[in-house]
Chain A
């Protein structure tokens, strides 16, 4: 599939797991960013079809990056994926325009269902 997906997580391990799950379902055009600051730069340059973003990251958090990317592109499709599943955070992310919030650790099927639903 030619859809471009940007994975944002400071944990290389988590990016590797996500990339591997996505590749098994045919999503091979994968970009990576290790923090929210890089995510914003990559988004501006590459305009991915979907962003999957962690929250707790150095330099710029996922919530800050969500806000900034949505300001750049109100149609940006962003899914939050974090170990921090507290209600206040989920509500804040959805209010800022995140399409979904997946709590880690997740089963690969959960991510793939979400990606498939959003990208069609």
Chain B
């Protein structure tokens, strides 16, 4: 038996993905904290299965300007991760490292892009390393790519993958507290269904 689309997940399987989301987010928060050199507390992440239109609304609507960092998953688990960083996340990061204000209407320079790609890389690796150590699966990741565009346009990239999976994707809404500031990142995970099946099998979950 195999999973054909993400809509077929039962409540136990959803719980598993939610827990992986929690663990991954916790690791990502630790990584982010080490990188920026400040204490970062993760608030309880929200893990949902969403359709494309709902996902677009969750990132502020199709015309909301955001930064997208896309990373492909390779190896035992295939799929892709898309990070959506909204303005306040990017501002905090660029201000922390370079003391600069961020205007989303102005093109990011090479160093800004490099920084955000590396953050996406490190955060995605936090999830991948967590899944790998729990399942003994090997997951590689691609070099990240970055884009600043309207949310609708950026989300259209994985939308092609959405279509293969029954139009729904795993959406993890992370909120981090740095002192009194709250910054948010949103992660969209689009796994290949065979990979999801393997993941559940490795975790001893009936599929």
A residues with CB within 8 A of B:
10-14, 16, 56-58, 82-89, 103-107
Q: List 19 A-B contacts (CB under 8 A).
A: A11-B115, A11-B117, A12-B111, A13-B115, A13-B117, A56-B121, A56-B140, A56-B142, A56-B143, A58-B143, A83-B31, A83-B124, A84-B141, A85-B129, A86-B129, A86-B132, A86-B133, A88-B138, A105-B34
Provide the bound-state CA to CA distance between A16 and B110, in Å: 12
Provide the bound-state CA to CA distance between A88 and B31, in Å: 20
For B117, what are the chain A residues with a Cβ–Cβ distance below 8 Å?
11, 13
Query: B125 touches which one: A12, A16, A84 (CB < 8 A)?
Result: A84
For A89, what are the chain B residues with a Cβ–Cβ distance below 8 Å?
138
For A107, what are the chain B residues with a Cβ–Cβ distance below 8 Å?
34
* Binary flags per residue of B84-100, CB closer than 8 Å to A gives 1, else 0: 00000000000001000
Of the four ranges (under 10, 10 to 19, 20 to 34, 35 or more), the interface on chain B belongs to: 20 to 34
Instruction: Give the tally of cross-chain contacts (CB within 8 A).
Output: 62
Cβ–Cβ contact B114 & A11, under 8 A: yes
For A104, what are the chain B residues with a Cβ–Cβ distance below 8 Å?
31, 35, 122, 125
Query: B140 touches which one: A13, A57, A84 (CB < 8 A)?
Result: A84
Cβ–Cβ contact B34 & A106, under 8 A: yes
B residues with CB within 8 A of A:
31-32, 34-35, 97, 110-111, 114-115, 117-118, 121-122, 124-126, 128-129, 132-133, 138-143
Provide the bound-state CA to CA distance between A88 and B38, in Å: 31
In the complex, how many angstroms separate the beta carbon of B77 from the nearest chain A beta carbon?
11
> With A86-B132, A86-B133 in contact, is A12–B141 under 8 Å at CB?
no
In the complex, how many angstroms separate the beta carbon of B178 from the nearest chain A beta carbon?
15
Name the CB-closest residue of A to B32.
A105
Cβ–Cβ contact B111 & A83, under 8 A: no
Query: A13 touches which one: B111, B133, B139, B141 (CB < 8 A)?
Result: B111
For A103, what are the chain B residues with a Cβ–Cβ distance below 8 Å?
129
Query: A12 touches which one: B110, B132, B138 (CB < 8 A)?
Result: B110
Query: B133 touches which one: A57, A87, A106 (CB < 8 A)?
Result: A87
Provide the bound-state CA to CA distance between A5 and B126, in Å: 28
Cβ–Cβ contact B139 & A11, under 8 A: no
For A85, what are the chain B residues with a Cβ–Cβ distance below 8 Å?
125, 129
Cβ–Cβ contact A105 & B133, under 8 A: no
In the complex, how many angstroms separate the beta carbon of A102 from the nearest chain B beta carbon?
12
Cβ–Cβ contact B133 & A56, under 8 A: no
For A10, what are the chain B residues with a Cβ–Cβ distance below 8 Å?
143
